[in-house]
Amino acid sequence: MKKITILFLTFVFLFAISCKRDKNDDQPKQKTLAEIIVGGWELTKMDVSAKATLLGQQVDIIGTGSGFKGVATFKANPQEVSSTAGATVALKVVLGGVELPIDTMDFENVFDLHKYTVLSNDKVRLISPEQDTINMDVKAFTESTIDMEFVEDIEDEDTGQVVKTTFKVSVRKK
């Protein structure tokens, strides 16, 4: 009886060890954002949203990107971006449920000459040549796509009003 119990316990122990080894070895490691960001990326989405005051009323401003072109290339050493990426964003104001097209914004050479630092798998910091900083929240990423969001204060040229504007940007590895 002792031999059967020892044999059984030995079998259970060896089975548990082999299962644990299988679990650890079969899991592919996901690369970090710092490992995948180097290289060329093309815009696939650029949406804009903001709240502003227009004629004394709060309005929503919504922008949808189109006409994506070019590539933003993240270099490893030095950590900087060279870019020919661009898009056109069609803006509309939503006032009382009514959508009114107001303008288009053309973005060219997006993030060109910016330096960058990957702070974590969910945050990238960009620094412009003028030393302005943009902290981008990475919402999701794979080896071939990155979805990001950042907020920037933009001054309205006509009213001087500073509008907190949210950009949602998606890119695909070129």
- Is residue 5 exposed (0-12), middle (13-18) or buried (19+ Cβ within 10 Å)? exposed
Segment 153-170, tens digit of pLDDT: 988 887 788 889 999 999
CA distances from 16 to 24, 38, 60, 77, 123 (A): 13, 41, 58, 46, 39
**What share of the chain has pLDDT > 90, as a percent?**
64
Query: What's this model's pTM, rounded to 2 decimal places?
Result: 0.79
pLDDT of residue 23: 54
pLDDT of residue 161: 85
pLDDT tier for residue 28 given thresholds of 50, 70 and 90: confident
Mean pLDDT, residues 26-38 taken together: 87
Cα angle 71, 73, 76; round to 5: 170
Highest average pLDDT, of 2-11, 57-66, 156-165, comes from 57-66
What three-state secondary structure class fits 47? strand
pLDDT tier for residue 9 given thresholds of 50, 70 and 90: very low
Mean pLDDT, residues 108-122 taken together: 94
Highest average pLDDT, of 19-23, 33-37, 57-61, comes from 33-37
For residue 125, pLDDT beyond 70: yes
d(CA 108, CA 167): 15
Q: Which domains are assigned to the chain?
A: 35-173 (2.40.128)
Cβ atoms of 99 and 131 closer than 8 Å: no
